[in-house]
Structure 1
């Protein structure tokens, strides 16, 4: 992967909506089942020089430019239990050790030029590493990680922790993770959205957890995409007008019952696309119209864009409601004036 490809390694909107595919849900379930079947004991299989020779590629200049070294390594699906040998390969920039049986990534602490790390499908219980000054992409999906401690890479832009066993987000220091724009936490055991104090975050994936409400995200002013599909959310409290960049919100498969909850989203100034499929409130006959009445700037609900006719009808309803409220307020005011003085 070239430096240019690395910079472009950010999903477009089609990728951001890929969680809607049943195939991905099945993939996550398969990984979960495999994880439950993992044995704590594996035949020791250390990384060898022969494996390194097979897996190394991408010859690049190093240091002053007078020397060369291979900077990319792919050793996935080798049943590895030990990557101690990597301590000596300090020029590596791209490392793929996914689909092995690793429980320890500490040899990577010596790879201070590392830009990209893929360690999915291992037996890791932690994503902790020493601060790697150039690391931009790190994926630890489908491991057995239980917390988010020990992640402090200043140039890290994408962090993937989906399919693990994380219950709470802790230790993500905004003073250290100053470049993080995409955080993937799908398929964990989160029961709270607290602990995500990352002001530069743009994309946040929290689907397939155990969330009942949204809290602590008010100050994510750069957040543009928020996925909360397949949780247990009943109320839409917790969204704030300070979330000035939020454009896409996926709440599919939650437990929102009352259409009135949608009013809590009207202060999101840039919200354009909302997904509410498979919530109880979508059974209401006027569900689609009510959403637009409550959120006038909404452009797309679920997978369908609003037509001009629908927008005109919503404007009319909104105007009638405004007039009714004004008449009620005026009547109450007149009533107060007519009360006899004591």
Structure 2
């Protein structure tokens, strides 16, 4: 079985412990914002290293024609990372958690064309823009400094979390490309209207319209 067949049938699941951990991290993120703490202007450079990769890699799976194997899951959260350039070389990764770091650039993820699941919460991102990732199904960019929704065009994306950012207007969510997106989380932003949200499969939309005092 090829990588493509395997990925097309894959569904990133979370067990109960992972869900509880996600909920805990969300609460911590909300508490962090409530305290009114600001991100420091400068952080000392702290790039992702091979040693960090060795510690964070798990889930050995077959790749390509099934004769080779590679680790496909990476967790490097809370490492004070400022640079993930090294990820360009780990093209077989499918599950990546880089949350609670100091990242401003996600462009190395453009090389991870097998990526299914991405969590980049609690960084210093100003954009969620990435190249089209053909298998990405779940993406979370909560509690960053993102100001727009441009550059999100992954055809298999089902769940998108942009909670706790600085988005005023939704733009760039192309219904012709986001044909699988059914859940969008936009609470904790500065939204002025629901314009720009026109997705064919949308079932769950969570947002607040600040000016109107409306919460959905």
Q: Structure 1 length normalisation: TM-score?
A: 0.55
Structure 2 counterpart of 1:110: 111
1:175 to partner: Cα distance? 0.3
Aligned residue for 2:72, secondary structure, equals: strand
Residues 92, 114 of structure 2: 8 Å contact kept = yes
Q: 1:40 to 1:24 in 2, by over 3 A?
A: closer
Partner of 1:222: none
Structure 1: unaligned runs, 5 residues or longer: 10-14, 213-231, 234-249, 252-342
Deviation of 1:124 (Å): 0.2
- Counterpart secondary structure, 1:76: coil
Q: CA deviation at 1:30?
A: 2.1
Report the equivalent of 2:155.
154
Question: Which deviations, in whole Å up to 9, do the C-alpha atoms of 1:163-210 show, x marking residues without a partner?
Answer: 000000000000000000000001000011111010210100004x40
Residues 168 and 192, structure 2, Cα contact 8 Å, conserved in 1: yes
Task: Give the equivalent residue in structure 1 for 2:3.
Answer: none
Structure 2 gaps, min length 5? 1-6
Do the aligned partners of residues 115 and 39 (structure 1) sit closer, same or farther apart at CA in structure 2, a change above 3 Å counting?
same
**SS of the residue 1:32 aligns to:** helix
- 1:33–1:45 CA distance, 2 compared to 1 (3 A): farther
Matched, 1:188 2:164: no
Aligned residue for 1:171?
172
Larger RCO of the pair (alpha carbons < 8 Å, separation 6+)? 2
Alignment CA distance shift 1:170-1:38 (3 Å):
same
Match status 1:210 vs 2:210: yes
CA separation of 1:191 and 1:27: change in aligned 2, threshold 3 A: farther
Aligned match of 2:88: 87
Q: In the aligned structure 2, how far is the partner of 1:24 from the partner of 1:47?
A: 22
Please give the secondary structure, in 2, of the residue aligned with 1:37: coil
Conserved in 2, the CA contact under 8 Å of 1:35 and 1:143? no
Query: CA offset at residue 37 of structure 1?
Result: 1.8
**Alpha-carbon spacing, 1:35–1:89, altered in 2? closer, same or farther (3 Å):** farther
SS of the aligned residue for 1:156 comes to coil
Number of corresponding residues = 202
Cα distance 1:34–1:115, how it changes in 2: closer, same or farther (>3 A)? farther
Note the C-alpha offset of 1:36: 4.3
- Residues 34 and 112 of structure 1, relative CA distance in 2, 3 Å threshold: farther
- Deviation of 1:90 after TM superposition, in Å, equals 0.3
Q: Is the 8 A contact 1:45 1:81 kept in 2?
A: yes
Corresponding residue of 2:4: none
Contact 1:96 1:119 in 2 (8 A): yes
Conserved? CA contact 1:31–1:142, under 8 Å = no
Name the TM-score, length of structure 2 as normaliser: 0.86
The answer to whether the 8 Å contact 2:29/2:122 transfers is no
Is the contact between residue 170 and residue 197 of structure 2 (CA under 8 Å) also seen in structure 1? yes
Residue pair 2:128, 2:151 contacting (<8 A) in 1 also: yes
